[in-house]
Amino acid sequence: MDTTLNRRSFIRSAPAASAGTAAAWSIVKPGTAFGTQANSAIRMGIIGCGGRGTAVATSFMKHTDTRVVALADLFEDRLNRGQETFSKLAQEKGFAAVDKNLIFRGSRAYTRILESKEVDAVLVSSPPFLHPEHLLATVEAGKHVYCEKPVAVDPFGCQQVLQAGKKAEGKVSLAVGFQIRHATPFVELAKRIHTGAIGDIVSGEAYYYASALKLPAYPGASAEESRLRHWVWDRHLSGDIIVEQNIHIIDVCNWFLKGHPVKAVGFGGRKGRTDDGNCWSHFNVTYLYPNDVHVSVMSTQFDPGLGDVCERFFGTKGISESHYSGGVFIKGENAWDSGAARSGQAVSAKDWATGSFRSALDDADANKEKAFIESIRSGKRINEAAQGVESALTAIMGREAAYSQKEVTWQKISASKEKWDPKINLKQFDK
């Protein structure tokens, strides 16, 4: 995969950095002799200790030589849970427990992690509307960064991420959480599609049929606290389901088709949802890619009793299918099967909530995490800012097409400076 900043021609110059910005680059050099396992591990800080952040950081500790040493969050209960989880994992690996002096709460807690000399790399797993701010600040602080998808919920945020990518280039590794690009069956399928196994692609479809994301109630919480704790139900905090969740299949489409669509039309709505948020229950978007390739993207996030994720492409020589848990294969002239189970596998509510799946994605997280850590150790920096922005803008384009029920072009969405106002005061949680 080409992960350099200039991988796509659509990228425009990001806004210039402020004159007062100074980055003290903290780079772990390859070949350094640390002497002990604890000292050789990459020290990771987490910005956002919710379900997904905890799941990803846990996976890092299980699959790589990583220690979680610092935590930042708005809420005390999440920090307590994080300290317990990562101290236990640390002790299982012979490391010290998480130091209470490296646990920070509040709207500016993330800056304390970035100031710490005890942190080499940062996992950004805060609510998506904060990703651009946290990602850019992490790069400017000279820390390696692994940012959960989506990198932004609006075009303005995407421009901030491109700025971060320019600052990171050649200095620190910047990875985006599209782990499917590292799943062995998907990697092999992409190679076969790119070398003509299904011929010229005529059309495609991708769908992400998910159940409702059920979240606990917080008795006594204010309306704004509940909104933040349930950010995945709020379109201004999450980007809506097409940007926050369906972006995975959109990213795979861009990967397989080697680019982004030129325009989109779409529909959708909230019918069927019963939570207190304002995200939609479904989207139906048709994207037009170069070479007159139409791809229909469909999604749900309520409880119709069906869960499945798949990309399917129709070519002049065959058909490719790539499911999360229903097989990855090609039918036609150049038939091929990855060996991933085709039987389909029920996805639990917990798996939907944390993004943990089996079968075709068995090694996706581990491979992605290993690649990130290896890029730090080897000095061969990766920079996935452009890829992250390309897929975020593709999802945003589909969202805006569905919201407006009008055609939206790539030219318009990539030139837009629209910035969503979340209308929430984070400083109130500093008390």
pLDDT cut 90: percent of the chain above it: 83
Domains, the chain, ranges and CATH? 37-180+374-384 (3.40.50.720), 183-355+388-415 (3.30.360.10)
Decide: helix, strand or coil at residue 403: helix
pLDDT computed for residue 19 by the predictor: 34
C-alpha span between 334 and 320 (Å, rounded): 10
Summarize pLDDT for 218-245 with one digit per residue, the tens: 999 999 999 999 999 999 999 999 999 9
> H or E segment at 294?
strand 293-301
pLDDT computed for residue 355 by the predictor: 55
pLDDT computed for residue 304 by the predictor: 81
For strand 263-269 and strand 328-332, is the pairing parallel, antiparallel, or unpaired?
Answer: unpaired
Summarize pLDDT for 262-302 with one digit per residue, the tens: 999 999 999 999 999 999 999 999 999 999 999 999 999 99
Decide: helix, strand or coil at residue 83: helix
User: Which carries the bigger pLDDT value, residue 304 or residue 105?
Assistant: 105
pLDDT computed for residue 32 by the predictor: 36
Summarize pLDDT for 405-428 with one digit per residue, the tens: 999 999 999 999 999 999 999 999
Summarize pLDDT for 152-165 with one digit per residue, the tens: 999 999 999 999 99
Q: What is the mean pLDDT of the chain?
A: 90
> H or E segment at 139?
helix 131-140
- Taking each helix axis as running N to C, give the angle between helix 247-257 and helix 385-404, from 0 to 180 degrees, rounded to the nearest 10: 120
Q: How far is residue 120 CA from its own chain's centroid?
A: 20
Q: Which of 160, 108, 103, 104 is nearest to 131 (CA)?
A: 160
Residue 11 has pLDDT above 60, yes or no: no
pLDDT computed for residue 40 by the predictor: 85
C-alpha span between 389 and 10 (Å, rounded): 10
**Look-up: residue for tokens 């990583």?**
66
* Alpha carbon distances (Å) from 55 to 9, 52, 131, 268: 34, 5, 18, 30
pLDDT computed for residue 148 by the predictor: 98
Torsion angle, alpha carbons of 111, 117, 119, 125, to 10: 0
pLDDT cut 70: percent of the chain above it: 87
Summarize pLDDT for 364-401 with one digit per residue, the tens: 999 999 999 999 999 999 999 999 999 999 999 999 99
Cα three-residue angle 262-421-175, rounded to 5 degrees: 55
**pLDDT tier at 14, thresholds 50, 70, 90:** very low
Residue 6 has pLDDT above 90, yes or no: no
CB 158 within 8 A of CB 393: yes
Going by C-beta distance under 8 Å and a sequence separation of 6 or more, which residues neighbour residue 292? none
Task: Please measure the distance between the N-terminal and C-terminal CA atoms of the chain and give it in whole angstroms.
Answer: 46
Residue 132 has pLDDT above 60, yes or no: yes
pLDDT computed for residue 326 by the predictor: 86
CB 327 within 8 A of CB 341: yes
User: Which carries the bigger pLDDT value, residue 112 or residue 352?
Assistant: 112
Write the DSSP string, 211-270. Answer: --------TT--HHHHHHHTGGG-HHHH--HHHHTTHHHHHHHHHHHTS--SEEEEEEE-
